[in-house]
Amino acid sequence: MEFAMHYPTMAAIGRFQKGAEIFHAKVVDGELFRLRGDIFGAPSFDKKPMPGKGVRTLVPINPSKIIAVGLNYADHARETGKAPPREPLFWIKATTSLLPDGGKIEIPFPRHRTDYEAELAIVIGRRIRNVTTKAAARYILGYTAAQDISDRNIQASDGQWCRCKSFDTFTPLGPYIETKLNPHDLSIQLFQNGQLRQNSNTSQLLFNCYQLVSFISMNLTLLPGDVILTGTPSGIGPIQSGDRLEVRIQGLAPLVNTVK
């Protein structure tokens, strides 16, 4: 998708492509200021904006792994008929499932029920192992919008959640990483063809962002750029070809994808 700014953000960083070149840039009032240096270090930005023509928006980060958290809203646990977990429930999704803003979600088995799931995503900024909840914020680069698309037929038959959520295009992510955001009281919504389907707030998370980072780091090493999907609220539902799905999270640019 060619770069198009949705609305001004506080400190948004995106990943873009122009020709064969891939780069990060800060997005300010519809203009791109190219990042110089390491996004995970102490980057600087060009003082003059670059032309946006011919620039394509990519997934904002290239993670070594995607970690998805399940049943992290009590209302979603209720609608699935499952009890809320006593500790975070997580699994790994394939990085090949990533899809940028504007990309098309492809349903591999049209006769299966395939659902949308709006989620707030955490982007890790530093290598982490065994970090406390109190210190977790220092290891987070920022936040972005995501979806955890799910094939329910395969989920039911497999009895686990990796394959049903790892098909190509099943993790829309972006468009930008917001680096200055308090994640604990944000409205989160999903619109399907303009109709509001999910409507909640991150204050309803059973395990908040810092608790998730800490817990996951106690079990495996997190690397810079890794993505954690924090769970979806109630209101999940099926998608079909031609749908337009929009995730709106307070403080973030909206994530918009269509279904093929």
- Output the pLDDT for position 1: 59
Where exactly are the structural domains of the chain? 12-57, 66-259
Q: How far apart are CA 132 and CA 137, in angstroms?
A: 10
Q: How far apart are CA 156 and CA 112, in angstroms?
A: 11
Q: CA 52 from chain center: how many Å?
A: 24
Mean pLDDT confidence for 51-57 = 91
- Output the pLDDT for position 184: 96
pLDDT digits (tens, 9 = 90+) for 170-192: 999 999 999 999 999 999 999 99
- Output the pLDDT for position 9: 47
Q: Which spans in the chain are helix H?
A: 74-80, 152-158, 209-217
Instruction: Answer yes or no: CATH 3.90.850.10 is held by domain 66-259.
Output: yes
Q: How confident is the model at residue 5 (pLDDT cuts 50, 70, 90)?
A: very low
Instruction: Answer yes or no: CATH 2.30.30 is held by domain 12-57.
Output: yes
- Output the pLDDT for position 6: 46
Q: Return left, alpha or beta for 145; rule: phi > 0 is left, psi -120 to 50 is alpha, else beta.
A: beta
- Output the pLDDT for position 51: 87
- Output the pLDDT for position 4: 54
How many C-alpha atoms does 225 have within 13 Å on its Cβ side? 15
Sheet holding 104-105, edge to edge: 104-105, 255-259, 244-249, 187-192, 195-201
Q: How far apart are CA 256 and CA 173, in angstroms?
A: 9
pLDDT at 52 over 50: yes
- Output the pLDDT for position 8: 39
What is the torsional sign of CA 19, 22, 23, 24?
A: positive
Per the prediction, the chain carries an average pLDDT of 94
pLDDT digits (tens, 9 = 90+) for 80-101: 888 889 999 999 999 999 999 9
Q: How far apart are CA 65 and CA 226, in angstroms?
A: 5
pLDDT digits (tens, 9 = 90+) for 132-175: 999 999 999 999 999 999 999 999 999 899 999 999 999 999 99
Beta strands in 125-158 (DSSP E): 140-147, 150-151
Q: CA 211 from chain center: how many Å?
A: 17
Mean pLDDT confidence for 123-131 = 97
pLDDT > 70 fraction of the chain, expressed in percent and rounded: 96
Q: Which tokens is 119 given?
A: 């989620």
At position 15, the amino acid (one-letter code) is R
Q: Which tokens is 225 given?
A: 């750029």
The angle at the Cα of 41, spanning 35 to 42, to the nearest 5 degrees, equals 65
pLDDT at 59 over 50: yes
pLDDT > 90 fraction of the chain, expressed in percent and rounded: 87
Strands 31-36 and 44-45: antiparallel
Q: Which tokens is 86 given?
A: 């006593």
Beta strands in 42-95 (DSSP E): 44-45, 56-57, 66-70, 89-93
